[in-house]
Chains A and B, each alone.
Chain A
Amino acid sequence: MENLLAFIATRYIYIMTIILMMIGLYALIAKKNLVKKVIGLNIFQTAIFLFYISFSDVDGGTAPIFLPDGVSATYVNPIPHVLILTAIVVGLAITAVALAIVVGIYEEYQVTGEDGLQEVMKRQ
């Protein structure tokens, strides 16, 4: 039992990330409404971002800005932050395109849910 608690205490961030990812995937797959699917996609991507940032943390590290000469310190790793900034932009673009498509589908079929979508497609 202590082992489990210790495990959770040190690795809680990973567990949270995984849970978030699963929520996102669930929403993506199980939800019928297209907008909810896009939200699920966002949750999934956010979970991945959190994961990246979590491993950039260094014990006892400080913000990665150079201190004045003569003062040394351990810095938190800035590279994953940089990577995630890029990935966030990518995610933004994907969300934008996805929502544009959803709007297009709505204008065409007057539905945003997959249930209705299947029926409508059969009618076509």
Chain B
Amino acid sequence: MNAVISQLPPLLIVVPILGALLALLLGKWKRSFAYPITLAMIGFQFAVSLVLMESVMDGEVIHYYLGGWPPPLGIELVIDSFNSFVLVVILALALLTAVWAREGADLDIVPEKRVSFFVVFQLLVTGLCGMAVTGDLFNLYVFLEISSIAAYTLVAAGRNPRSLIAGFNYLILGSIAAGFIVLGIGYLYIATGTLNMGELAVMLPAHYGQATVYAAFLFMMIGFSIKVAFFPLHLWLPDAYTEAPAAVTILIATATSKVTAYAMLRVIFSVFTLQYVTESFPVTELVLIIAAVAIIAGAVLAIAQDNLKRMLAYSSISQMGYIMFALGVANQAALAGGILHIMAHAVMKGCLFMVAGMIIYRTGFTAIRQLSGLSRRMPVACAAFALAGASMIGIPPTIGFMSKYYLVLGAVEAGEYLAAAVLLAGSLLAAVYIWKVIEVMYFGDVHDEDLGGGLEAPVSMMVPVIILAASCLLLGIFVELPLEVVGPAAAMLLGGG
């Protein structure tokens, strides 16, 4: 059985490419084929990722050499507890988004472009999976760009003409970021002569004091920070999330941002190793301060918004600050909290953006004050929003609370009391912007009586929402289960795995 499992990693990349091709060809023939093919391919990938996670849970690592060429000649795919966890999360979200997009895509994508939408969707998933499984730095850059280009295209694909501008800005900033990243990779190659992540980790310590390595680290950090929308390099994010088609926003807010955060953590901990960031080039304090600012600034800006999707976008900036917070503290508890938050935020934000999309689909309302009294017409959607929102605030026993607990625990254990206080204050601010929406939804007078009652969205959009909302609660209560994977993952990162 092991022989079969060790051959599985490249499937994660090949299957979606094949799926994209199939969807394109068959879709030209009959438009309705695009969706089932996408669903089948992503579903298959999700199953594969579950099998892979199960087999690496006990600490085993799967290495796959593309073409049989061992490194440093060839490109290597590596599956360990950290990236298998991330893979499961993003493929689950991609699957649920695909299901949601069956009807949800019609909101923003003209029917003629539906096939193209699903094709590029699969290409985006290709890029994301590739980023998650690769063990080679330049390969990481290539897949990063594949996913980014697909993302730029999808963001610009909406009916709303402003989505073109949002996509263009995203493209410009994202390409600058990619340029910096590839520059950093070049510097690392100059210093060591290898691009393989495992070998770099071994060879770099000898070069720690060199300016080349400093430059590489800086360029890559800045590049990744732009991609992750780490405050204050977040400027592309609010417009991109707000103006993109709803189905696209869900995918990039959950999957893309998470994998990019994963890539950043991977490069910092597995290539540069913890020792570098704490001793040779101590940036952890700085990162902690910026993360704290990000948490507060994102939340404050979110409170000021009237457009629902824009508020959720600023909330995402605040939440990415939590993951950077884990980087800034860099101990076992905080990293476990950060990795757990990768999953928690993907689930919570996915649910929230899906509900926002459903509301626009049924009512066309985009502003928060228009949601007045919505709970009487869309009770299930509003209940899901309330549950996911409670998780964002960090109410126990939801998963949002669990990840926050670990982050605060990590901060206190490291003696960073002020940072812990900031984190707690952040959840109070989150309560303000989430509660604003819940108050309006449940206790406001019904807005625009003409629309009538009973506006619940179609089943294919409801099912993913309910699954995600229930997961917020269930994953929180049974948090031991994800922790079985996350705990060893965090330990491995700290040990420089």
A and B touch in the complex (CB under 8 A): yes
Q: Which 6 A-B pairs have the closest CB atoms?
A: A108-B161, A90-B145, A101-B168, A104-B164, A105-B164, A101-B156
A94 touches B149 (CB 8 A): yes
A41 touches B175 (CB 8 A): yes
**Closest Cβ neighbor of B142 among chain A residues:** A86
State A79–B186 Cα separation when bound (angstroms). 11
Stretch at the interface among A3-11, A47-55, A63-71: A47-55
| B182 contacts chain A at the CB level, 8 A cutoff | yes
| B190 contacts chain A at the CB level, 8 A cutoff | yes
Which residues, 76 to 112 on A, are CB-close (under 8 Å) to B? 79-80, 83, 86-87, 90, 93-94, 97-98, 101-102, 104-105, 108-109
Smallest beta-carbon distance A44→chain B, Å: 6
| B331 contacts chain A at the CB level, 8 A cutoff | no
**Closest Cβ neighbor of B155 among chain A residues:** A101
Inter-chain contacts of B152 with A (CB < 8 A): 94, 97-98, 101
**Closest Cβ neighbor of B146 among chain A residues:** A90
A45 touches B175 (CB 8 A): yes
| B172 contacts chain A at the CB level, 8 A cutoff | yes
Which residues, 45 to 82 on B, are CB-close (under 8 Å) to A? none
Partner-B contacts on A (CB < 8 A): 25, 28, 34, 37, 41, 44-45, 48, 51-52, 55, 79-80, 83, 86-87, 90, 93-94, 97-98, 101-102, 104-105, 108-109, 117, 121, 124
State A18–B396 Cα separation when bound (angstroms). 52
Smallest beta-carbon distance B112→chain A, Å: 15
Inter-chain contacts of A41 with B (CB < 8 A): 172, 175-176
Smallest beta-carbon distance A69→chain B, Å: 21
B175 touches A93 (CB 8 A): no
A124 touches B162 (CB 8 A): yes
Given contacts A52-B186, A94-B175, 5 further A-B contacts (CB under 8 A): A34-B168, A41-B175, A80-B186, A104-B161, A105-B164
Inter-chain contacts of A90 with B (CB < 8 A): 142, 145, 149, 178
A48 touches B179 (CB 8 A): yes
Smallest beta-carbon distance A106→chain B, Å: 10
Smallest beta-carbon distance A45→chain B, Å: 6
Inter-chain contacts of B380 with A (CB < 8 A): none
Give B145-177 as 1s and 0s: 1 = Cβ < 8 Å from A's Cβ atoms: 100010011001000011011011001100110
B179 touches A104 (CB 8 A): no
State A80–B145 Cα separation when bound (angstroms). 18
State A4–B311 Cα separation when bound (angstroms). 54
Inter-chain contacts of B182 with A (CB < 8 A): 48, 87
| B405 contacts chain A at the CB level, 8 A cutoff | no
B164 touches A25 (CB 8 A): no
Inter-chain contacts of A52 with B (CB < 8 A): 186
Which residues, 99 to 149 on B, are CB-close (under 8 Å) to A? 138, 141-142, 145, 149
State A86–B185 Cα separation when bound (angstroms). 14
Inter-chain contacts of A108 with B (CB < 8 A): 161, 164
| B491 contacts chain A at the CB level, 8 A cutoff | no
Interface size on B, residues (CB 8 A): 25
A51 touches B171 (CB 8 A): no
State A102–B165 Cα separation when bound (angstroms). 9
B138 touches A83 (CB 8 A): yes
| B33 contacts chain A at the CB level, 8 A cutoff | no
Partner-A contacts on B (CB < 8 A): 138, 141-142, 145, 149, 152-153, 156, 161-162, 164-165, 167-168, 171-172, 175-176, 178-179, 182-183, 186, 189-190
**Closest Cβ neighbor of B167 among chain A residues:** A101
A117 touches B138 (CB 8 A): no
- Pairs A–B under 8 Å by Cβ, sample size 20: A28-B172, A41-B172, A41-B175, A44-B176, A51-B186, A79-B189, A87-B182, A90-B145, A93-B149, A94-B145, A97-B149, A97-B152, A97-B171, A98-B152, A98-B172, A101-B167, A101-B171, A104-B156, A104-B164, A124-B162
State A28–B174 Cα separation when bound (angstroms). 12
B186 touches A55 (CB 8 A): yes
B168 touches A109 (CB 8 A): no
A44 touches B179 (CB 8 A): yes
Interface centre among A79, A83, A101 (most CB of B within 10 A): A101
Inter-chain contacts of B183 with A (CB < 8 A): 48, 51
Contact of A102 among B168, B178, B179 (CB under 8 A): B168
Inter-chain contacts of B142 with A (CB < 8 A): 86, 90
Inter-chain contacts of A124 with B (CB < 8 A): 161-162
Inter-chain contacts of A101 with B (CB < 8 A): 152, 156, 164, 167-168, 171
Contact of B176 among A25, A55, A98, A121 (CB under 8 A): A25
Smallest beta-carbon distance B362→chain A, Å: 24
Smallest beta-carbon distance B198→chain A, Å: 17
State A83–B193 Cα separation when bound (angstroms). 13
State A108–B161 Cα separation when bound (angstroms). 7
Inter-chain contacts of B189 with A (CB < 8 A): 55, 79-80
Inter-chain contacts of B176 with A (CB < 8 A): 25, 28, 41, 44
Inter-chain contacts of A104 with B (CB < 8 A): 156, 161, 164
Smallest beta-carbon distance B305→chain A, Å: 18
Smallest beta-carbon distance B229→chain A, Å: 18
State A27–B152 Cα separation when bound (angstroms). 21
State A24–B189 Cα separation when bound (angstroms). 24
Smallest beta-carbon distance A114→chain B, Å: 9
